[in-house]
């Protein structure tokens, strides 16, 4: 690889500044001691982190978001594993059509999904509850789970499974002892990516949240609509730090490139 | 993140022997088909039907069928302005993303071992951070008492703060930040397919670095830039949280307009009609432009 020239490096520095500035400014403003948005020029204060304690709704929303993300990504993975095994390894009529249907939520604006699901659940007489949120998030995260499980199920060596069957393994034993361990990296990374997608989703959730099941991004969004104060900065800063930790762990475990760009050559 | 899926479209397995009809693949797909089909197709069809109903202040949503809502959107200049603004914002955001993202991906591509993966993480990582948190950062930077204005007036460069909040410029800057990773991913994927020998051949034949980029690199990563642009444009046109926070209630785009019709005015049929237009526009852009790009660059994809 050849080096970048000084001009390229200067451009790169500006882009890095552009990308990181808004994220850093949230984390810095969170430490202000003043009652309004400002950089902590007169010393760092944890005042606004303590202030979160007086607002139990943020903690409740955080809990809602965690449960919602865990439930929807688990259901997505359970549905995606058999589908990925069939689509990735078997030849059948309608295979392409199914794959397009399963990936189509990526093409549909989340706003449209939110409106459509709100109409669907109210018309169906189900009302809006925590379960409707789980259902909505399931639709949104399913393509991500399917994609990552597909990439591992395509490369699966059929001979190993045949060997298991010829040695007398039942279908279930074959799946549990041979197939599942082989596609496990895809299942785990698919679950994690789904979890993050669900945890960050805001546009669709705005439509199908109730006051009791408001997710953290929706709570932040609605709060910011009224006023922006250092409290949202401290909540967001915690969110950012948690995400960065997860990000670094993911990068160590799977490689960010494989997770986001797809299996490349490098 | 629709960028990544286009790359993993799986070709039909060739090794599988042609067998008689088997129910196994259908049974394996059945649970996902039932759940996703019900939660996706039925609600979308219901939204389409809802957009044909009408709404009265006292009658609420009535069950008649007409194209009244669509006619209203087409005729009213208020809606024209909002759709035109959405288009303008999406176009400029796409342009900004391409001008920043494509060169940046190339610079990353040329970096040495540890820096390459570190900065790739810096570029793509924000994708995992909540859109609300990232937009909040821009609200803090761009506000009239925000960091950018305070710094510029403090240094004496500006005499009065520049208004970024509630302006199209502010929305474009924040959206470009939110969507840039998609452009980097797309161009990065195209760069990975590059044969370094072609570049070396150009250099050994006496081409300057600029000529190499213009004549060798750019033509080969153009499909990546274009497919990245399609994704960025589609996501910008339907973006909600960022224009809602930076644009405020007055600077409306199509998505925030639909939100207001649904949750403030409670005119669900009109909101549904806007949503349907947004969806149809999105699909036309994604499918149509992808076709064009694939035809134009057929030789690159082979």
| Tens-digit pLDDT profile for residues A204-237 | 999 999 888 999 999 999 999 888 889 999 999 9
Q: Does residue A133 belong to the interface with chain B, where contact is any CB pair within 8 Å?
A: no
List the domain boundaries for chain B.
77-301
pLDDT: which is higher, A191 or B16: A191
Instruction: Give this prediction's pTM.
Output: 0.90
> Given A29, A116, A150, which is nearest B140 (Cβ)?
A29
- Nearest residue of chain A to residue B141 (CA atoms): A22
Are A202 and B241 an interchain contact pair (Cβ–Cβ within 8 Å)?
yes
Cα(A174)–Cα(A165) distance, rounded to whole angstroms?
A: 7
Region A67-77 average pLDDT: 97
Burial B122-147 (b: 16+ CB within 10 A, else e): ebbbbbbbbbbbbbbbbbbbbbeebb
Helix ranges (H only) for chain B are 2-7, 24-50, 68-75, 77-109, 113-124, 131-142, 147-154, 168-192, 196-204, 209-211, 218-237, 241-247, 254-263, 268-283, 289-296, 298-301
Distance of CA A211 to the CA centre of its chain: 23
Position A264 scores a pLDDT of: 44
Domain B77-301 fold is MetI-like fold (1.10.3720)
Q: What digits encode the pLDDT tens for the residues A113-153?
A: 999 999 999 998 888 888 999 999 999 999 999 999 998 88
Are B15 and A158 an interchain contact pair (Cβ–Cβ within 8 Å)?
yes
Q: Which residues of chain B have pLDDT under 50?
A: 1-9, 16, 302
Interface of A with B in 32-71 (CB under 8 A): 37-39
Q: What digits encode the pLDDT tens for the residues A35-60?
A: 777 777 777 888 889 989 899 999 99
Structure confidence at residue A263 as a pLDDT band (50, 70, 90)? low
Cα(A36)–Cα(A50) distance, rounded to whole angstroms?
A: 15
State the nearest Cα–Cα gap between B65 and chain A, in angstroms.
17
Substitution target in B98, B132, B173 with the highest count of A β-carbons within 10 Å is B132
Summary mean pLDDT of chain B:
88
A136, containing H or E segment: helix A130-154
Cα(B224)–Cα(B188) distance, rounded to whole angstroms?
A: 8
CB contacts of B140 in chain A (<8 Å) are 22, 25-26, 29, 37, 228, 233
State the nearest Cα–Cα gap between B120 and chain A, in angstroms.
8
- The ipTM value here is 0.90
B54, containing H or E segment: strand B54-56
Torsion of CA A103, A104, A107, A109, to 10 degrees: -120
Are B40 and A101 an interchain contact pair (Cβ–Cβ within 8 Å)?
yes
Residues 6+ apart with CB under 8 A from B51: B69, B70, B269, B272, B273, B275, B276
Using N-to-C axis directions, what is the helix angle for B168-192 and B218-237, rounded to 10°?
140
Region A1-22 average pLDDT: 89
List the domain boundaries for chain A.
56-260
pLDDT: which is higher, B182 or A158: B182
State the nearest Cα–Cα gap between B63 and chain A, in angstroms.
13
Q: Which of A197, A55, A245, A73 is nearest to B131 (CA)?
A: A197
Are B32 and A80 an interchain contact pair (Cβ–Cβ within 8 Å)?
yes
Contact pairs from chain A to chain B, CB under 8 Å:
303
- Nearest residue of chain B to residue A1 (CA atoms): B110
Position B18 scores a pLDDT of: 52
State the nearest Cα–Cα gap between B77 and chain A, in angstroms.
23
Region A84-95 average pLDDT: 90
Distance of CA B166 to the CA centre of its chain: 21
Q: Does residue B23 belong to the interface with chain A, where contact is any CB pair within 8 Å?
A: no
Structure confidence at residue A262 as a pLDDT band (50, 70, 90)? low
| Pairing label, strands B60-62, B54-56 | antiparallel
Spatial contact of B83 and B254, defined as CB atoms under 8 Å apart: yes
Are B16 and A91 an interchain contact pair (Cβ–Cβ within 8 Å)?
yes
State the nearest Cα–Cα gap between A53 and chain B, in angstroms.
19
Which of 1.10.3720.10, 1.10.132.20, 3.40.50.300, 3.30.930.10 would CATH assign to domain A56-260? 1.10.3720.10
């Amino acid at each position: 690889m050849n080096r970048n020239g000084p001009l390229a490096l200067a451009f790169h520095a500006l882009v890095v500044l552009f990308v990181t500035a808004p994220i850093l400014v949230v984390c810095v403003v969170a430490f202000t001691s003043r009652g309004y948005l400002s950089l902590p020029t007169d010393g760092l204060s944890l005042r606004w982190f303590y202030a979160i304690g007086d607002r139990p709704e943020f903690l409740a929303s955080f809990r809602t978001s965690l449960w919602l993300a865990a439930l929807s990504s688990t259901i997505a993975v359970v549905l995606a594993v058999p589908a990925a095994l069939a689509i990735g390894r078997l030849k059948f009529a309608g295979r392409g059509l199914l794959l397009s249907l399963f990936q189509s939520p990526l093409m549909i604006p989340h706003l449209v999904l939110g409106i459509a699901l709100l109409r669907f659940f109210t018309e169906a007489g189900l009302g809006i509850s925590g379960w409707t949120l789980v259902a909505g998030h399931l639709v949104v995260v399913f393509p991500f789970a399917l994609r990552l499980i597909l990439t591992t199920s395509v490369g699966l060596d059929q001979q190993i499974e045949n060997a298991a069957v010829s040695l007398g393994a039942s279908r279930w034993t074959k799946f549990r002892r041979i197939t599942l361990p082989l596609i496990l990296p895809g299942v785990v990374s698919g679950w994690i990516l789904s979890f993050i997608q669900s945890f960050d989703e805001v546009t669709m959730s705005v439509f199908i949240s109730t006051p009791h099941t408001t997710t953290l991004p929706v709570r932040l969004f609605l709060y910011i609509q009224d006023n922006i104060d250092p409290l949202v900065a401290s909540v967001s800063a915690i969110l950012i730090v948690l995400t960065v930790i997860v990000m670094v762990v993911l990068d160590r475990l799977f490689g960010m490139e494989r997770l986001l760009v797809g299996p490349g050559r490098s | 993140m629709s960028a990544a899926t286009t790359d993993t479209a799986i070709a039909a397995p060739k090794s599988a022997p042609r067998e008689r009809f088997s129910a196994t693949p259908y049974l394996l797909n059945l649970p996902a088909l039932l759940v996703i089909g019900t939660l996706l197709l039925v609600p979308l069809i219901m939204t389409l039907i809802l957009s044909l109903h009408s709404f009265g202040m006292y009658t609420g949503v009535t069950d008649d069928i007409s194209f009244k809502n669509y006619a209203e959107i087409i005729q009213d200049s208020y809606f024209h302005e909002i759709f035109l603004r959405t288009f303008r914002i999406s176009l400029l955001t796409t342009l900004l993303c391409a001008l920043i993202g494509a060169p940046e991906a190339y610079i990353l591509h040329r970096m040495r071992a540890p820096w390459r993966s570190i900065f790739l993480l810096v570029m793509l990582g924000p994708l995992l951070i909540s859109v609300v948190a990232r937009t909040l950062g821009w609200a803090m930077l761009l506000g009239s008492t925000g960091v950018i204005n305070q710094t510029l007036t403090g240094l004496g460069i500006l005499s009065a703060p520049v208004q970024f909040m509630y302006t199209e410029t502010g929305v474009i800057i924040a959206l470009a930040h939110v969507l840039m990773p998609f452009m980097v991913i797309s161009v990065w994927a195209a760069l990975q397919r590059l044969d370094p020998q072609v570049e070396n051949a150009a250099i050994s034949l006496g081409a300057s670095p600029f000529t190499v980029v213009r004549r060798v690199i750019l033509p080969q990563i153009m499909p990546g830039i274009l497919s990245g642009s399609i994704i960025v444009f589609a996501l910008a046109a339907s973006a909600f949280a960022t224009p809602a926070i930076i644009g405020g209630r007055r600077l409306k785009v199509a998505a925030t307009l639909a939100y207001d019709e649904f949750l403030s005015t409670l005119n669900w049929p009109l909101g549904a009609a806007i949503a349907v237009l947004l969806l149809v526009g999105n699909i036309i852009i994604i499918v149509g432009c992808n076709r064009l790009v694939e035809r134009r660059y057929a030789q690159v994809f082979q």
